[in-house]
Amino acid sequence: MVLTMLCLTMVVFFMVNLEPNLKKLAISQLDMRSPADQIESWLVKNGYRQNFFVRYGQWIGVVKKQPNIDATGKAIPRFSFCNEPTEPYYGGVLEGDFGCSTKFKTKVANKLFPALGATGILMFWVMVTMVPIALLIGILAGMREGTRTDRTLSVASIATTATPEYVSGIIFTVIFASWLGWLNGSAATATAQGITFYNFTLPVMTMAIYGIGYIARMTRASMVEVMTQQYIRTARLKGLSFSSVVIKHALRNALIAPFTVIMLQFPWLLTGVVIVEVMFRYQGFGYTLVEAAGNNDIDLLLGCSLVSVFVVLFTQLISDLGYAYLNPRIRVQ
């Protein structure tokens, strides 16, 4: 996991520090009409022309950061709004310092972690809504394979999965916010004034409806496979009721595959939330990521990428551990 994170962050670090991005950053901090020599001078003064591996080591926190030197030879911090020391120091990810946001004029941590908290709340309510509904649909469809119930639920699941968030979000906004007037079409008030049913339902619905179909289809397929196993037939022949067979024998084995799929929803939520947060102006992780990308905020972009890589790897680890817990054969091996 550490090696994967190191390689991925190095790739992202290289890409966000390409020459066009550095020039755009310098222009955003200076002026659109700044001459090329002034742009180059700003990049050199702020350390962007140092060796790639030196800069990566500084961002990680294994190489000391150097302050700027003004015309009089006095050491000054690179970015005054981050209160950086005026002497060489270790200040990278390993020290809990994610750098300075040139867009928001503050430390990256001051912007990134509140945004993550806001997105965490959104993800929590999406999972609370999505997972029980999806499992219920998948179990009901898998219990009655080939029946009208199965076909109806399967068609509905495929329809929701085939509808991307930017389509369902617009449809829900038109119906519930514009026509009926029941809900607020913007979630910006959720971060400013607090979360309510009125301002938070639309983004939760938009994200949940997409994931419900996928999890439901996986649950149905797993349930159908389990219901045809020999031990299920044996339990039925012993006279156990259908509901007892499903709850006591089929359900746990049927949930092994959906558990992995459910854990994979966390990385998807973290990246898929970008569209929803921008659409509903909910100022969370996705909204912050778009702002950072649009303004060439290099340190904030790197912080967002680091969080994304960590969430993907961590949820994969939990998925593997949970799979081994639910499947006795894996534990034995």
Domain ranges for the chain: 1-103, 109-330
Residues 6+ apart with CB under 8 A from 26: 34, 39, 42, 43, 48
Residue 158 and residue 322 in contact, taking contact as beta carbons nearer than 8 Å: no
Residue 332 has pLDDT above 80, yes or no: no
Pick the CATH number of 109-330 from 3.30.420.40, 1.10.287.3510, 3.20.20.30, 1.10.3720.10: 1.10.3720.10
Please give the single-letter amino acid code of residue 182.
W
- Segment 87-91 shows an average pLDDT of 82
pLDDT band at 46 (very low <50, low <70, confident <90, very high): confident
What is the reported pLDDT for 56?
92
How far apart (Å, rounded) are the C-alpha atoms in residues 270 and 16? 20
**Mean of pLDDT values over 205-225:** 86
How many Å separate Cα 5 from the centre of its chain?
16
pLDDT tens figures, 267-278: 777 777 788 888
* Total-model pTM: 0.80
The residue with greater pLDDT, 137 or 324, is 137
259 confidence band (pLDDT: 50, 70, 90): confident
Confidence of residue 14 (pLDDT cuts 50, 70, 90): very high
